[in-house]
Amino acid sequence: MNSKYGQIRDYYDHCQKDFERIWHLDRCMAMHSGFWGSGVKTLAEALIRENEELARQVSITCQDRVLDAGCGVGGSAIFLAAHYQCHVTGITVSHQQAKNALSYAQRHHVNELTTFLVADFINVPYPDGSFDVVWAIESVCHAEDKQTFLQEAYRVLRKGGRLIVADGFQAKSPLTEKEAALLTRSFRGWGVSSLEIDSMFHDSLNDVRFTSIKEQDMTSQVYRSSKRLFLYSFPAFIVSVIERMLKKRGRIEQANVSAAHHQFLSLKKGLWKYKVFYAEK
């Protein structure tokens, strides 16, 4: 795997214990924000609700072959396989995540419906037209060139295939110097060099020749998760200082706490939004 993914891989590998502490990773297997709303009372329910809502929007069926582009530890792939009996291929840049995803799939008895491998979602090791759905939750933000991701998604989709992307997007442009600095502090610690402007992402979908493009602002549904991370950052900072003194925590983990703090501040200032994009080939 190309060394340019080292920062992203290191973030997820080093910070997995933080996800286990506050995001119920072992139980929920999800690293996304989750959708809060009517009837949702817990984080676990919010994480499931996001999977449910995105699956509904992209109309998953048992006949679909799904590419989970940036699958994390396999939570969404396992959810789709278990609930829709479709086949899901999950790709990640982390060997550790791929290993964990395989273990979780076996635990949930969907290992025959899922495949996990270490690969680059802008250079997918499958031929043209291999998938009915490309599914990307909070992973496209890691791509240095978002249009390159869209071009690859278009290539691997069959004619009539569907794309679903749920992610953070820069909400205004241009930014002042202070706003740009805050947005950088909000996401750099999560291995994200920059967020795409939502209008530019829509234009890129058109440029790549996707059709039936729909976008939905889901910021209000992730607000509670964003605030949860912000509140977590205060005790986490204290714990981080102690653990760093004991040589049990490093720079990457400390940057994760900083991002958890600043992402909510930038959200409240309207610097980024959480959006879902749907499109067809």
Give the whole-angstrom CA distance, residue 69 versus residue 100.
16
Give dist(CA 88, CA 81) in Å, integer.
7
Pull the structure tokens for residue 246.
């004991």
- Give dist(CA 87, CA 106) in Å, integer: 14
**Is a pLDDT exceeding 60 seen at residue 3?**
no
In a domain, 180, yes or no: no
R_g of the chain computed on alpha carbons:
18
Nearest CA among 191, 195, 158, 165 for reference residue 180: 195
Do the domain assignments include residue 259?
A: no
pLDDT at 44 over 90: yes
**pLDDT at res. 249:** 74
Predicted model pTM = 0.96
Of 245, 241, 264, the residue nearest 254 (C-alpha): 241
Domain range spanning residue 112? 3-16+23-172+192-219+272-280
- Residue 4 is predicted with a pLDDT of 60
CATH number at residue 108: 3.40.50.150
Q: Which of 231, 277, 273, 237 is nearest to 254 (CA)?
A: 237
| Per-residue pLDDT tens digits for 193-221 | 999 999 999 999 999 999 999 999 999 99
Total domains in the chain come to 1
Say if 28 falls within a structural domain: yes
Assigned domain for 239 exists: no
